[in-house]
Structure 1
Amino acid sequence: MREIITLQLGQQSNYVAAHFWNTQESYFTYDAGEESPVDHDVHFRPGLGEDGTETFMPRTVIYDLKGGFGTLRRLNALYDISGDAAASSLWPGQAVVHRQQPIGASAYQESLETGQAPPELTTSTVRYWSDFNRVFYHPRSIVQLNEYELNSTIMPFEKWHMGEELFANLDKEHDLLDRDLRPFVEEADQMQGIQIMSGIDDAWGSFAAKYIERIRDEYGKMPVWVFGIQEPTRGLPREKRLLKLVNKARALAELSSQASLVVPLAMPEEQLPSNIQLDPASPWHVSALFAATIESTTLYTRLKTTDRIYSSNLGHMTDLLNVFGRQTIANIEMSPIEPPNPTQNGTNNPENLTNARGEYISNIYDNVVDDESESGSQKGTAHLAVDLSSPQDLRLDSRTRRSRKRYVFSQVRTYRGPEIEETIEDSKDGNATGRFGMSRPPKVHKNNNRSVIKERMAIRTSLSTDTSVMDKVRGLRTAAIPYIGLEDREMIGNELAEIADGYKEGWSSGSDDDDD
C-alpha cells in the first residue's frame, strides 16, 4: 500500500503537521459519484475504537513537551486516554495526585464537537497547534515528554546537548523505536519510507539526529526524508539568533549523513509576493505556508497508482534528486498563482492565471529561468517566487562575493491547479524535451482534479539539488564555526565543508568559482 509513517518532533513541526493532516482529511470523499485521486492508505491506518467503531487515523507519532498538546488529549472521542494516574501507578503505597488547571477548549474545537459552524480562526484564538486540528489520533501517536515544559523561561528546550541527553535517557528507559515506531511499521504491508518533521534550530535537531541514527540501525536503507523547520528570528536577541545558527549547523552536519533527503524550511526575510499575506510572528500563519509547500511538493507520493504518470514514491524521488550520492540537502521553493477571475470573460480559461507579480501566464513552464545570466541557471529550470530554503540569519556580502551562476543537478516541479496545456515535443533521439529544448526536462507532477481538491489558489513548487546549497552551507559554516565549542568545532567544520564539496561534482565552474 506504499505506506509512509510520519514522525513529528516539537512544537514547530506539530504546527506544520496539523495543517498537513487537515489537508489530508479534506481529500476524503463521501459522495458515491466523487472519487479522490489520493490513496488514503498511504498516510492513514484502519483500526477499531474502544466501542468497536471503525477508525481511520494518521500513521504518525507526535512528540511534544509538557503543555504542548493543548486540549488534544481530552478531545479524542474515539479512545478514552485519560486514565486514572493513581490506578495505573506501580507505587504500592498511598498516591497523591496533583492536577494542573486544564486548558480550556478553543471555540473552534467546541464547534467541531457540537457540529456547529466553526468560527473564523485568528492569530489571537490559535494558542496551540491542536486549536485548529481537525483529525483524531490514535493514543499511541501521542507522546508527551514531561522532562521539559513548553515555553519555559527557567529551562527552555533549546540547547543541542539537551536533545541528545533527552533521547538517550528515554531510549535507555523505554526503547523508543520498539515502543513508539515499531507498532506502526509492523502494520505496514509495503512501506515506502519515513517522513520526519522536526525543528532543526533548537534541541529537537539533536533529538531528531539521534532518532534517525537508531532508525538506520533498525531499518537500514529505508528512505527517510527530513523537513527541517526553523523559527523566524526577526526580533530575537543576538544570543538567541546565534544559538539557533549553531544548532542549524550541527543539525545539517548530522542529518545529511543519516537521512536520505534533508529539506530545510525557513521564512525568507525578503518581502513576500503581494498575494501571500501572513503574520511572521504567528506560528499558525508561518506553518501554513510551510505545510502548503510540503503538501504540494510531496503529493505524488500518495496519488493512486492507477495514474502511474504522476504517482511516485520517496525512494524513487530520492534517487532522482541525489544525483551523485552526496547531495542529500535540497532547496524548496514555491510560487502562488492567482485563480481565474470569474467576473471576466473566459472563466476557467488557463490563460487568465496570473503569477505572484500579477502577470498573466499561459503555461506551467512559463516564468522559469531561461537565461544564463550571472544570477540565473541553465535553461528550463524553475526559480520560483518564494525561496523557503534560504538561511534566515545568513548574510552573504555581495561586495566581497561575486554572484554565482546557479547550476541545477536535478529538480522536481509540482503544479497544482487548473489543467494547463503543456508544450512538450519529441526530440530527434526520441527523448522528451521541454519548450526550451532540454533533453531531460525537470519532472513535473500535476494534479488537476478541482472537484476534489478545492484550493482557491494554484501552487507551483520546486524541490531541487543545485549549487546554491554549496554557497549556503559555506556561509553557514563561516558564520557558525566561531560560536561552536572547541571540542566539536573542527569536526563540524570539516563535515560542513564536505557537504558543500558534494555540490561541486559533475560540473565545471570555470571562472565562477571563488575562494571559501
Structure 2
Amino acid sequence: MREIITLQLGQQSNYVATHFWNTQESYFTYGADEESPVDHDVHFRPGLGADGTETFMPRTVIYDLKGGFGTLKRLNDLYDITEDASSSSLWPGQAVVHRQEPIEASAYQQSLDTGQAPPELTTSTVRYWSDFNRVFYHPKSVVQLNEYELNSTLMPFEKWHMGEELFANLDKEHDLLDRDLRPFAEEADNMQGIQIMSGIDDAWGGFAAKYIEQIRDEYGKTPVWVFGVQEPVRGLPREKRLLKLVNKARALAELSSQASLVVPLAMPEELLPSSIHLDASSPWHVSALFAAAIESTTLYSRLRTTDLAYSSNLGRMTDLLNVFGRQNIANIEMSPIKPPSPAQNGTNGLTNPTNARGELVSNPNDNSIDDESDSGLQKGTASLEVDLSSPQDLRLESGRRPRKRYVFSQVQTYRGPNIEKTAADDEDGVTTGHFGMRRRPKVHNYRSELSFPLLDSYPKLFRDDNAHVVKECIAMRTALSTDTSVMAKVRGLRTAVIRSIGVEDREMIGNELAEIAEGYKEGWSSGSDDDDD
C-alpha cells in the first residue's frame, strides 16, 4: 500500500482538513459492482470499534486548543462505552462529578445522527470545523491541548515562540511522536509520506517546525509535505499584520530546511473571478477554497495504481518540482472550469482574464501558446485564475522593478469529464533568462475524469456563466510550481520583517531567507544586480 499520514495543526488547518476528509468519504462506493477510482487505503485505516464493529477511519492526528473541537468528542459512537465514573474509582467515598456544559450540536450534525435530510449550512451556523464534519475519527486521532484556549484575549496563541515552547513542554512529558504519530506509522505497510496542514502565520508555525524536526530524526527519508495555511489579513491592524509576516518568515526559514515541500496558501487580496462567490471573513468559505486546491493537486497520489499513467506519489512529485535540489517552496494556483455554453464555442468564457500577478490566465482549450508572452507565461506552463500563493507578498519587495515569472518546474492537474488534451501539454518550452541563458521548464500533466464533488457540507462557492450555483460537482485545474516569484516574495518578506525579529535570531533568520531566495535565481541572472545589501 501507499499510506499517507496526515497531521492537522490548529484551527485553520482543521477547517481545511475537514473539507478534505469529507471529500474522501464521498468517494466510497457501496455497490458490489462499483469500484472507486480512489484507493481508500492510502488515507484510511481499518480497525475494530469497542463492540467489535469493523471501522475505517482517517490516518490522521488532529491537534487543537481547548474549545477548538466544538461538539467533536474524543470517543464517538463507535468507541464510546459509557462507564460509571464512581464504579471505576479507587476512592472509597462518594464521588462528586463536575461536568462543563456541553456545546449544543449543530442542526447539520443532528441530521447526520438521525439520518434525516440535512439543513443548508450557512456562515452563521458553522461555528466550529466540527459543525460540518461527516466522518468518525479514531480516539487516538483527537488531541486537545489544554495549555491555551481558542480565541483567548488574555493569552492568544499567536506568537512563534509560544508554539515552540508548547511543543517542547508536551514532548518532554509525553514524547509526541511515540504517543501520537508512531501508532499510525507502524500500521502502514509502505508509508508514502506525511502530509501536514498547519497555520504558518501564528504560533502553530513554531509548533510545526519543532514537530517536523522530530519527524526528520525518526523518519529521515520519508517525504513530508507541508500545506501552510494563512488567515486573511484585510482589516487587521498594522501590528497584527506585521506579527503574521514575522511568523511566516520564520516558518519558511525553518520548514524549508526540514520539509520535502512547503506550499503556502493565502487568500489573494485582489478580487476573485466571477465564477467564485466567497466570504473572506468566513473560515468555512476560505478553507473550502484551499481544500479544493489541495485535494485536486494531491488526487493523483491516491488514485488506484491500475491507472499507472496518472497515478503518482509524494516522493515522485517532490522530485519533479525540486529541479535543482534547493527549491522546495512551491506556489499553488487553481481554476474551476465552468460548463461551456453553446455560444462560447468551448472558450469557457475566458476572455483574456488575468490573475493576481497580472498574468494572462491560460485557457485549457487554447493550443496557441507562444514561447513567451508579455505576461511572462512560458510555453507549456499554466497560469490560472486563482493564485493562492500569497501574490500580495510580491509588493513587499519595494524599490525593485517587477520581474517576469520564470517557471523551473510545474505539475498541472486536470480533473473532470471532457477535458481535452492540448498541444502544449506534451511540450517543454525553452525560455531565455538573463544574459541569454536558456532553460527548459519541466511541465508534468496529470488527468482524471473524477470531478471535484460539491457536498452539502461544502459552501456554494462556484457559479456558472449565468451566475447560477454549480451543484454536485465541478471540473478543476490546478498548478503547483517552483518559480522565480518565490525569490521576490522571500526577499520582500525578509526586508519587511528583519528589524522586528529579536537580535539573537535576526542574523540566522535573515541568512536562511537569503539562502532560500538564492536557490530560485539559478540560471536566470548572474546575481550582480540582485544581491541584497
Assess same fold via TM > 0.5: yes
What does residue 99 of structure 1 align with? 99
Distance 1:363 1:392 in 2: 24
Structure 2 residue 525 is matched with structure 1 residue 509: yes
1:419 aligned partner, one-letter code:
N
Structure 2 residue 440 is matched with structure 1 residue 445: no
Structure 1 residue 98 displacement after superposition: 3.4
Structure 1 residue 196 displacement after superposition: 0.1
1:222 aligned partner, one-letter code:
T
Query: Structure 2: any 5+ residue segments left out of the alignment?
Result: 355-360, 432-439, 455-470
User: What SS does structure 1 have at the residue aligned with 2:177?
Assistant: helix
Structure 1 residue 337 displacement after superposition: 1.3
Counterparts in 2 of 1:81 and 1:415: CA distance versus 1, 3 Å: farther
Structure 1 residue 440 displacement after superposition: 6.8
2:524 aligned partner, one-letter code:
S
Q: 1:491 aligns with which of 498, 508, 531?
A: 508
What does residue 389 of structure 1 align with? 389
Counterparts in 2 of 1:223 and 1:373: CA distance versus 1, 3 Å: same
- Output one character per residue of 1:425-465: Cα deviation in whole Å (capped at 9) or x when no partner: 9xxxxxx9439689775111111145989953211100010
Distance 1:238 1:84 in 2: 52
Structure 1 residue 51 displacement after superposition: 1.0
User: What SS does structure 2 have at the residue aligned with 1:298?
Assistant: helix
Structure 2 residue 495 is matched with structure 1 residue 478: yes
Counterparts in 2 of 1:393 and 1:452: CA distance versus 1, 3 Å: closer
Structure 1 residue 36 displacement after superposition: 1.1
User: What SS does structure 2 have at the residue aligned with 1:475?
Assistant: helix
What does residue 351 of structure 1 align with? 346
Contact 1:368 1:380 in 2 (8 A): no
Distance 1:213 1:86 in 2: 43
Counterparts in 2 of 1:149 and 1:97: CA distance versus 1, 3 Å: farther
What does residue 412 of structure 2 align with? 413
User: What SS does structure 2 have at the residue aligned with 1:257?
Assistant: coil
User: Which of 81-90 and 9-18 deviates more?
Assistant: 81-90
Contact 2:246 2:501 in 1 (8 A): yes
Structure 1 residue 271 displacement after superposition: 0.6
Q: How many percent of aligned residue pairs carry the same amino acid?
A: 79
- Output one character per residue of 1:54-99: Cα deviation in whole Å (capped at 9) or x when no partner: 1100000000000100111078211117777777789999865432
Structure 1 residue 5 displacement after superposition: 0.2
* Map 1:65-464 → 2, pairs under 5 A: 65-73=65-73, 76-80=76-80, 97-341=97-341, 344=342, 351=346, 353-355=348-350, 364=364, 366=366, 370=370, 372-373=372-373, 375-390=375-390, 392=392, 395-396=395-396, 400-424=399-423, 433-434=426-427, 442-449=443-450, 456-464=473-481
Distance 2:302 2:102 in 1: 38
Distance 1:494 1:451 in 2: 41
Distance 1:24 1:62 in 2: 17
Counterparts in 2 of 1:386 and 1:86: CA distance versus 1, 3 Å: farther
Structure 1 residue 418 displacement after superposition: 1.6
1:405 aligned partner, one-letter code:
K
Distance 1:66 1:413 in 2: 39
Distance 1:216 1:483 in 2: 29
Structure 1 residue 191 displacement after superposition: 0.5
1:446 aligned partner, one-letter code:
R
Structure 1 residue 274 displacement after superposition: 0.6
User: What SS does structure 1 have at the residue aligned with 2:207?
Assistant: helix
User: What SS does structure 1 have at the residue aligned with 2:73?
Assistant: helix
2:383 aligned partner, one-letter code:
H
Contact 2:198 2:226 in 1 (8 A): yes
Count of residues in Structure 1 that have an aligned counterpart in Structure 2? 502
What does residue 47 of structure 1 align with? 47
Contact 2:25 2:135 in 1 (8 A): yes
1:149 aligned partner, one-letter code:
E
Counterparts in 2 of 1:93 and 1:142: CA distance versus 1, 3 Å: farther
Distance 2:92 2:208 in 1: 36
User: Which of 257-266 and 416-425 deviates more?
Assistant: 416-425
User: What SS does structure 2 have at the residue aligned with 1:172?
Assistant: helix
Distance 1:62 1:158 in 2: 19
Query: Structure 1: any 5+ residue segments left out of the alignment?
Result: 426-431
1:401 aligned partner, one-letter code:
R
Structure 1 residue 406 displacement after superposition: 1.3
Counterparts in 2 of 1:456 and 1:13: CA distance versus 1, 3 Å: same
Distance 1:392 1:449 in 2: 32
Counterparts in 2 of 1:83 and 1:159: CA distance versus 1, 3 Å: farther
Distance 1:362 1:263 in 2: 22
What does residue 12 of structure 1 align with? 12
User: What SS does structure 2 have at the residue aligned with 1:20?
Assistant: helix
User: Which of 462-471 and 82-91 deviates more?
Assistant: 82-91
Structure 1 residue 242 displacement after superposition: 1.0
User: Which of 270-279 and 388-397 deviates more?
Assistant: 388-397
Distance 2:90 2:490 in 1: 50
User: What SS does structure 1 have at the residue aligned with 2:163?
Assistant: helix
Structure 1 residue 378 displacement after superposition: 2.7
Task: Give the TM-score, by structure 2 length.
Answer: 0.87
Distance 1:249 1:91 in 2: 52
Distance 1:104 1:24 in 2: 27
1:407 aligned partner, one-letter code:
Y
1:137 aligned partner, one-letter code:
Y
User: What SS does structure 2 have at the residue aligned with 1:457?
Assistant: strand
Q: What do you get for the CA RMSD once the two structures are aligned?
A: 2.9
Counterparts in 2 of 1:139 and 1:323: CA distance versus 1, 3 Å: same
Distance 1:127 1:276 in 2: 22
Structure 1 residue 401 displacement after superposition: 1.9
Counterparts in 2 of 1:321 and 1:104: CA distance versus 1, 3 Å: same
Structure 1 residue 15 displacement after superposition: 0.1
Distance 2:258 2:88 in 1: 38
User: What SS does structure 2 have at the residue aligned with 1:471?
Assistant: helix
Contact 1:407 1:467 in 2 (8 A): yes
1:458 aligned partner, one-letter code:
A
Task: Give the TM-score, by structure 1 length.
Answer: 0.90
Counterparts in 2 of 1:423 and 1:245: CA distance versus 1, 3 Å: closer
